[in-house]
Structure 1
Amino acid sequence: MSYFIYPERGIYHLPRKNILVLSCIDLRLTDNLLEFLHFDNLTNRYDHFALAGTSLMTQADNPELAVLLDHAKLESGIKSYKKWNEVWRDHVRIAIALHDIKDVYIIEHEDCGAYQNFLTKEALSAGEHSCHVKFSTALAKQIHQFRVDDHTIVTLNVHCFLLDLRGNIEHLYSIHDKALPRLPARKK
């Protein structure tokens, strides 16, 4: 039994098949991430891809969000950051081909070093939480109708979450291929 706070039942579709998880490289929350994936009945049913900042660098070519990145700081330390979205998208293609994924979990976390180091001061003035919502939601919208090749588009259910430093999960955003079913009221 988990003692963590997770999203309420019915907020998003629980995946029935294999999924792809995108998370940060932060070491502090690995066990909490796994606990949440087990809670959602995803044990041994996910590919895991980690990028510093989770969705942050996937948006380096997004004109609306690229202005929030400190490109001078990034270019001095991470010369390939503009290619991270391409690498991420290649991984999505592989996960679709090999494991027939239908869902993607984007799991951001608070107190993220990549956000604190690579966003402009102006961006962070709105608060780190707000930045996580902007970047993860933008990525979710980009990959919902995912172009595998010139002839194939796959619809993915995409779910964005924020993991806090105690292991609690906040649901930020989901985009589904169909409406959520009405769930019966829970008995108290």
Structure 2
Amino acid sequence: MCDFHPTRRGLLGLTLGAAGASLLSIPALAKDVTALAITCIDYRLVDDTVRFFHTRQLFRDYDQVSLAGAALAGVSPKFPSSNAAFWDHVGIAKQLHNIRKLIVVDHRDCGAYKVAFGEEFQGAGEAETIQHKNVMEQVRAKLAQLHPDLSYEAYLMAVDGQTERLV
């Protein structure tokens, strides 16, 4: 025989618990954001990258994905799974948060560029800038094919956090 005797307090607790549990299945209301930011995974630039987006008035107004090489991840034949992830996330951000812009931030002295280009890697200066810009232009072309409604900005960040727009 069960000695359970329901009380009002006990029933109220069960009711509130059940109501709270049912809320777990309701997704949080997502808001539209201006941009998807794709950055490199390099630990040296995490804080500088966040500051960069804040100076662009994008605080809490962008989604962010980090992939080795940033722009390179979207187009390099050396990283086919990164290519898929790059473009999948653009589509997902567009669907979930109605992004209107893709912002890519590469950085100087990038290990992914060294892996992808090998002996052809341009390690510093203007040659490195041109190499990044060429990759960023490839991303722009592919974006125009896949998502012509999105605008595009691409930046190159120095290891001291200074950033210049290349595309």
TM-score bracket for this pair, using the shorter chain length? 0.7 to 0.9
Flag the structure with higher helix content.
2
Q: Do the aligned partners of 2:73 and 2:86 also contact (CA within 8 Å) in 1?
A: no
CA deviation after TM superposition for structure 1 residue 36, in Å: 1.1
Equivalent residue for 2:153? 159
| TM-superposed deviation, 1:23 | 0.6
Contact kept? 2:33, 2:61, Cα under 8 Å: yes
1:31 matched to which residue of 2? 47
Show the counterpart of 1:134. Answer: 134
Q: Partners of 2:33 and 2:63 in 1: how far apart?
A: 12
- Corresponding position of 2:143: 143
TM-score w.r.t. the length of structure 2 is 0.73
Which deviates more from structure 2 when the two are superposed, residues 156-165 or residues 136-145? 136-145
Q: Secondary structure at the residue paired with 2:164?
A: strand
Task: Check the 8 A contact 2:39/2:66 in 1, yes or no.
Answer: yes
Q: 1:53 is matched with which residue?
A: 69
Higher relative contact order (CA 8 A, sep 6+): 1
**What SS does structure 1 have at the residue aligned with 2:146?**
strand
Structure with greater proportional strand content? 1
Identity percentage over the alignment? Answer: 30
Q: Tell me, yes or no, if the aligned pair for 1:145 and 1:156 is still in contact at 8 Å.
A: no
Gaps of 5+ in 2: 1-31
Equivalent residue pairs, number: 134
8 Å CA contact 2:33–2:99 kept in 1: the answer is yes
> Contact 2:74–2:139 (CA<8 Å) still a contact in 1?
yes
SS at the partner of 2:143? helix
How far is 1:105 from its partner? 0.6
> Over alpha carbons, which structure has the higher Rg?
2
- 2:89 aligned residue: 91
